[in-house]
Structure 1
Amino acid sequence: MFFRPFIVAAAALVFSTSACPEHKYTSGPRLQGRQTITDPGANSTQNDWAYEASYNWHRVSSEYYRCQNGTQQSPIALSLGNGLALNHVPKFNYNGSIAGDFYNWGYGPAFTVKHDGNWTSHPSFTYDDMTVYLKGWHVHAPADHSVGGDRSKAELHLVHVDASGHEAAVMAIRLDPGNFDSAFITQLPAMIGFNDMGTIHPINIDFTAALESVQHFNEFWTYQGSLTSPPCHEGIRWFVARQIMFTGVEQMQQILGASTYSARAEQEVWQHRINE
């Protein structure tokens, strides 16, 4: 595990929802059904950086220096030559249906868990002696991580924070088209386009199908990494599932149609401690 500014309502509590770009999402009173924010000033996506020029981010702002000189920058290329992780095995506490808001974070589909001020009330997983709590998810297209030189059509990032709300871990699931619809994607309403960031849809999601599609991360790579866009903060524990979540062809077309290019150039492995 993130951001573009994302402001949904004037009087709501603002917090970061993704461990990749720092977009801001406003969690306020629950909206009934699909709603479009018509105030053109209520939502903006003005960034001084672009994914297409990720090699140059440190020249854009001095605040992005870590993008250039960091020792654990994400994403990185992975392969079976790295082996698979035997340590940091995650144990999930995702029970039942989870309420939140579905929207587009300017690059693709996204979801934020309804927040009541207590992060520890969110779905969670534990690895080693650390428990982290689900903040939300978003999609990158194409995938951030390549495996064996292959980059999937998209990648789903489940972003988790510590009890204080700081990004701590990301569960990454690669997405590719297959012969049957994904039960997880089937739960979602109609995709919201990247030009419709003012539209949100309160929904409930059951994550069981997502976890089952990758066998609850029983095979995975893990490493110490960073946010995948400015300011590229490090200290993020990444888990990348070996298995792929397959979608239907039309499902993938809808995901890609709602997305724009959002994959950072892969970084050289340095102090990432892959699978250690």
Structure 2
Amino acid sequence: MRNLIVLSACCFVIATAGAKDPPASPAPASAAAKPAAAAPAPAPSKAEAPAPRRLTAAEQRVIDEQAELDLQARIAARIAEMRANQQQRAAAAAKAARQAAAAKKKKQAVAAKPPPPANGTHWAYDGEFGPANWSKINAKWSQCGQGGRQSPIDIRDGMKVDLEKLAFDYKPSSFSVIDNGHTVQVNVAGGNYLTVQNRSYELVQFHFHRPSEERINGKSFEMVVHLVHRDVEGRLAVLAVLLERGAGHNMIQTVWNNLPLEKHDTVQPSVVLDIAEMLPERRDYYTYMGSLTTPPCTEGVLWLVMKQPMQASPQQMAIFSRLYPFNARPVQAHSGRVIKESN
């Protein structure tokens, strides 16, 4: 009975709704068990939307003022940022300038500081260690580049005067031969003297150069022998004997017979050497004040250059040439140098 009443009520509701609404497709059976959802309210049309409220003049002024303040704030922030960047760049530039100035000052100080004194010992007759650089190799050799009375020279326009005769007291003596890396040097035992200008000089050693370091009126010779003497006060006198090709020389051959087999070795022969054989028959000579021709180029050396050359055979000269093809210092300027020669 209850079901019949409910069914009747449902039919009444449907019939009532059907009088007003168009027919609808039947709903599923499950939908009948659910309550009907409320239909959404229709959206108002544009004509029905409320019109926006117009801002008052006071409100618009507040908005404009706020916008202007915001713009000024952004401009001020940008200007502050630009100023900060500019200050950073200026600080970096100033720092770089200070560093560059400090580096330049340090470089100038290093350039102004004198180099440490040279103390080399190796020298040669050409190349990097040649005469042009002797004064740079060792500070004690400064006269090689700065001296005013350096030897050897081209002997020209000597003043012919009555020079005193050279007095020699040479005698057969023991000796030793050393190849010192620059020449063949013969060290002589004491007791051999040269007297000139009332002063006696003792022979210490003699050595050879090829070609001759001295020139006579522009002429160079095949070789020269330098006999180095020293007096009791340490002053030096060097006697130069020029050599030209000719007959063999007995004393030179004795030296060659006792040459060491290695450089810097020394040979002490059991024979004696007659130094007087090195002197020419005529004793005419040139004289001037000069220097040693090798480092340290000491000045204040009395030079005596014999006018008459001695002879050595081509074979004897070839022996020395094999050891030292060239070991001569270039001639030096001698402007104003006093040169005397015997009549």
Q: Which string of whole-angstrom CA distances, capped at 9 and with x for unpartnered residues, describes residues 195-232 of structure 1? A: 43214132411123211xx225x211110010112221
Deviation at 1:84, TM superposition (A): 4.9
Judging changes above 3 Å, is the alpha-carbon distance between structure 1 residues 153 and 64 closer, same or farther for their aligned structure 2 residues? same
Aligned partner (choices 175, 179, 187) of residue 100 of structure 1: 175
1:160 matched to which residue of 2?
Answer: 229
Aligned partner (choices 133, 144, 147) of residue 202 of structure 2: 133
Judging changes above 3 Å, is the alpha-carbon distance between structure 1 residues 125 and 249 closer, same or farther for their aligned structure 2 residues? same
Judging changes above 3 Å, is the alpha-carbon distance between structure 1 residues 85 and 198 closer, same or farther for their aligned structure 2 residues? farther
Three-state SS of the structure 2 residue aligned to 1:89 is coil
Aligned partner (choices 218, 223, 234) of residue 299 of structure 2: 234
2:123 matched to which residue of 1?
Answer: 49
Deviation at 1:260, TM superposition (A): 4.7
Residue identity opposite 2:231 in structure 1: D
Deviation at 1:75, TM superposition (A): 0.5
Deviation at 1:191, TM superposition (A): 5.6
For the residues of structure 2 that align with 1:253 and 1:240, how far apart are their CA atoms? 24
For the residues of structure 2 that align with 1:194 and 1:49, how far apart are their CA atoms? 22
Instruction: After superposing the two structures, state which structure 1 stretch, 189-198 or 258-267, moved more.
Output: 189-198
Instruction: After superposing the two structures, state which structure 1 stretch, 246-255 or 234-243, moved more.
Output: 246-255
1:109 matched to which residue of 2?
Answer: 184
Instruction: Name whichever structure is richer in strand by fraction.
Output: 1
Aligned partner (choices 143, 157, 169) of residue 237 of structure 2: 169
Judging changes above 3 Å, is the alpha-carbon distance between structure 1 residues 194 and 233 closer, same or farther for their aligned structure 2 residues? farther
Deviation at 1:62, TM superposition (A): 2.4
Larger C-alpha radius of gyration, 1 or 2?
Answer: 2
Deviation at 1:88, TM superposition (A): 4.7
Matched, 1:244 2:300: no
1:124 matched to which residue of 2?
Answer: 193
For the residues of structure 1 that align with 2:312 and 2:147, how far apart are their CA atoms? 35
Three-state SS of the structure 1 residue aligned to 2:297 is coil
Contact 1:219/1:241 (<8 A) preserved: yes
Deviation at 1:146, TM superposition (A): 1.3
Contact 1:85/1:220 (<8 A) preserved: no
For the residues of structure 2 that align with 1:84 and 1:104, how far apart are their CA atoms? 38
For the residues of structure 1 that align with 2:263 and 2:167, how far apart are their CA atoms? 36
Three-state SS of the structure 2 residue aligned to 1:209 is helix
Deviation at 1:55, TM superposition (A): 2.2
Question: 1:253-264 maps to which residues of 2 (within 5 A)?
Answer: 253-264=318-329
Gaps of 5+ in 2: 1-119
Contact 1:159/1:167 (<8 A) preserved: no
Question: 1:7-22 maps to which residues of 2 (within 5 A)?
Answer: none
Three-state SS of the structure 1 residue aligned to 2:309 is strand
1:184 matched to which residue of 2?
Answer: 251
Q: Which string of whole-angstrom CA distances, capped at 9 and with x for unpartnered residues, describes residues 125-180 of structure 1? A: 1112111000011111221111222221211011100125x2510000111211x2
Contact 2:177/2:260 (<8 A) preserved: no
For the residues of structure 2 that align with 1:168 and 1:85, how far apart are their CA atoms? 23
Instruction: Name whichever structure is richer in helix by fraction.
Output: 2
2:275 matched to which residue of 1?
Answer: 207
Gaps of 5+ in 1: 1-45, 115-120
Matched, 1:196 2:263: yes
Three-state SS of the structure 2 residue aligned to 1:187 is helix
For the residues of structure 1 that align with 2:296 and 2:148, how far apart are their CA atoms? 14
1:58 matched to which residue of 2?
Answer: 135
Query: What's the TM-score once normalised by structure 1's chain length?
Result: 0.71
Q: Let me know the Cα RMSD of the aligned residues.
A: 2.3
2:146 matched to which residue of 1?
Answer: 69
2:218 matched to which residue of 1?
Answer: 149
Deviation at 1:194, TM superposition (A): 8.3
Judging changes above 3 Å, is the alpha-carbon distance between structure 1 residues 144 and 189 closer, same or farther for their aligned structure 2 residues? closer
Q: Which string of whole-angstrom CA distances, capped at 9 and with x for unpartnered residues, describes residues 32-82 of structure 1? A: xxxxxxxxxxxxxx8433222212322223222212221211000014x32
Three-state SS of the structure 2 residue aligned to 1:205 is coil
Query: What's the TM-score once normalised by structure 2's chain length?
Result: 0.58
1:223 matched to which residue of 2?
Answer: 288
